[in-house]
Structures are given as structure tokens and as C-alpha cells.
Amino acid sequence: RALLYQLWKGNVSSRMLNPRLQKAMKAYLTANKHGVRFRGRRAAARSRAELLCRLRSRARLRTLDGTEAPFSALGWRRLVPAVPLSQLHPRGLRSCAVVMSAGAILNSSLGEEIDSHDAVLRFNSAPTRGYEKDVGNKTTVRIINSQILTNPNHHFIDSSLYKDVILVAWDPAPYSSNLNLWYKKPDYNLFTPYIQHRQRNPNQPFYILHPKFIWQLWDIIQENTKEKIQPNPPSSGFIGILIMMSMCREVHVYEYIPSIRQTELCHYHELYYDAACTLGAYHPLLYEKLLVQRLNTGSQGDLHHKGKVVLPGFRAVRC
């Protein structure tokens, strides 16, 4: 609980994590499996306005467009959707919701509020059916990691979760963002199912995030954190928040910073308990949350009771 109150105040250190999570964090720092070499500077104490402007100028939403090797030679220019993700709503959506999959959203009765937004973003295999009262039933965008595309248990091809929505997939690439290396050795091979899905469903907007976008987000988190963060990509949650900040005028994020309902239940739709889901082990999740806490323009009451953070979209930011 102490950690929750510190997180609400924006004052947390990894030293407050339980010993198991601290150990896991250190192991990731030592392994540095994506070859991260941070060249920036850490921890200038920036104001909210400065942070927002930096995010807007540095975190440019980018997806594979087929113009770079090796994708250019493989015909990806004609494979990817003709309209880029950043142009799908050229005038910007008004108000958007990002719904985290955390167990803490159970018994929140937030469903109606979530569905009242113009667009709703959800993650991976998080369902709405059976959970409408707490999470709503509208889904506009779904972000999926490469395991969803490759693990047969997720039924990517035929599950209704992945139909009638904008799909955005990602996979951890080397920090160098060398696309040739990544294509040869993705974490999970999302390229083959992507090609197949594009050919079968050419009218569904389906994108793969550019590794440069993902690692730019990582750089920004590290630049604004005093401690050394895990050298692994940010969580889907943070990526989703930044995508919606590029597409919407206002973004309401639910149960990213936990509410008073905080629980070790990892997902609302699964009986599995692990504090790492909320506080991070592989992902620099604790630091992502600190950064988002600093950007919050919503009320303390909404943070504590709804687990809600309100962020301005980049269009609404004056720099």
C-alpha cells in the first residue's frame, strides 16, 4: 500500500519493490538483451509543459511503410495499408480512452464512462464480453504484441477480438533499430502472420510499429528518470497511451496508475496473480507510470477512485 500512495504522489524508487522484483530488474540490466546504449542524459527535472513538448517533438508515431530494406524489396509498400495510422483521423479524435487490462478495473463500474469516449484502445487478448459493466464494450484500436500473432492459443486468425478494429502490432527489435537484423531474428516471428492477414483482410487497418518509435519512447523515459531503467521496450500500455496522444485531443487512461482497488491480480480476465504485472520486471513499467503521473491533468479523486489519468493530446499542446 505504501508504494501505491508514493506512486500517486509521483515519488517512487525501485528500492521500494519487493526483493524478487528488484532481483529480476537487476538481471535484465545485466543481460541487456536488446543491446541498449543510452546516449542521452538522465533526470533533468522538467515541468509538465516541458515534458509534453518534448514528448510531442520526439515521440513521432511511426509504422512500417515498406520503404526501407528489407521490406522495400519484399513488396511491403503495397502490403501495408495505403493510409498511415497517423493519418487515419487527420483532424484528430476528440476524446479517447485507454483501458489497461489490470485486475484493479474489476468492480469499477467504469464501463459506461469508457464507452462514452469517441475511441477506445484495448490490449492484446483483453475481452469485453462478460466484463461490460467494468470495461465497456467499444473497441476502436487494439494493440497486440507479437506473441498474440504467433501463439495458436490466441486464435488470432478467427477470434472476434481481432476483427472490426484497427490493429497495431509490435515486437521487440534491437535498440539499433536495424531492420535487417530484426527481420532475420524477431522476438516472435510476426512478419509471416502479418503478410497472411493483410492478404486475407486488405480492408482492415493493420500496422506494425516501427522499432524507432518504440525505442524513442524508451529514451524519453530514461531521460526523465534518475535511476537506470530496464533496457527493454516500454510496455504495451505506455505505447498505447502515446499512440492515443498522437491521435486524440484528450486521452483518459484507466487503471494504469492503480486506484484504491489495486490488486496483485494481473489481468481482469484471468486468474493469475503477480505484482510484476502492475509494477514491472521486464518492462520499465514503474518508471513509465511515474512519467505518466507527472503528466496527469485529472483530479486526485479520479486517480484514487477510478485509477484515471487525463492527458492532453499533442494537438492540444502549445509549445
Closer by beta carbon to ligand C5P, 85 or else 276: 276
- 235 is an interface residue for ligand C5P by CB under 6 A: yes
Number of other CB atoms surrounding residue 313 within 10 Å: 20
Contact characters 192-231, ligand C5P, x per CB under 6 A? ----------------------------------------
Give residue 59's identity as a one-letter amino acid code.
A
Q: Which H, E and C letters describe 223-268, residue by residue?
A: HCCCCCCCCCCCCHHHHHHHHHHHHEEEEEEECCCCCCCCCCECEC
Closer by beta carbon to ligand C5P, 71 or else 170: 170
Who contacts 105 (Cβ-Cβ below 8 Å, separation ≥6)? 99, 134, 135, 254, 255, 261, 268, 307
Which of the ranges 28-36, 180-188, 235-243, 305-313 carries the binding residues for ligand C5P, by CB under 6 A? 235-243
Give residue 180's identity as a one-letter amino acid code.
N
The distance of Cα 291 from the centroid of its chain, to the nearest Å, equals 13
Closer by beta carbon to ligand C5P, 52 or else 102: 102
- 246 is an interface residue for ligand C5P by CB under 6 A: no
Number of other CB atoms surrounding residue 221 within 10 Å: 21
Closer by beta carbon to ligand C5P, 252 or else 267: 267
- Residue position matching grid coordinates 512478419: 191
Residues of span 260-279 touching ligand C5P by CB under 6 A: 266-267, 277-278
Q: State whether the Cα torsion 292-298-302-308 is positive or negative.
A: negative
CB 235, min distance to ligand C5P, A: 3
Contact characters 111-130, ligand C5P, x per CB under 6 A? ------------xx------
- 256 is an interface residue for ligand C5P by CB under 6 A: yes
- 286 is an interface residue for ligand C5P by CB under 6 A: no
| Rounded CA separation 261/259 (Å) | 5
CB 102, min distance to ligand C5P, A: 3
CB 112, min distance to ligand C5P, A: 21
Which of the ranges 25-33, 195-203, 221-229, 233-241 carries the binding residues for ligand C5P, by CB under 6 A? 233-241
Count of residues interacting with ligand C5P (CB under 6 A): 14
Q: Count Cα neighbours of 70 within 13 Å in the Cβ-side half-sphere.
A: 9
Binding ligand C5P (rule: CB under 6 A), the pick from 108, 140, 232, 236 is 236
- 237 is an interface residue for ligand C5P by CB under 6 A: yes
CB 286, min distance to ligand C5P, A: 10
Residues of span 91-110 touching ligand C5P by CB under 6 A: 100-103
Q: Are residues 167 and 204 in contact, defined by beta-carbon separation less than 8 angstroms?
A: yes
Who contacts 62 (Cβ-Cβ below 8 Å, separation ≥6)? 86, 209, 210, 212, 213
* Closest of 176, 206, 207 to residue 35, by C-alpha: 176
Q: Are residues 111 and 137 in contact, defined by beta-carbon separation less than 8 angstroms?
A: yes
Closer by beta carbon to ligand C5P, 65 or else 187: 187
CB 173, min distance to ligand C5P, A: 17
Residues forming contacts to ligand C5P in the complex (CB under 6 A) are 100-103, 123-124, 235-237, 256, 266-267, 277-278
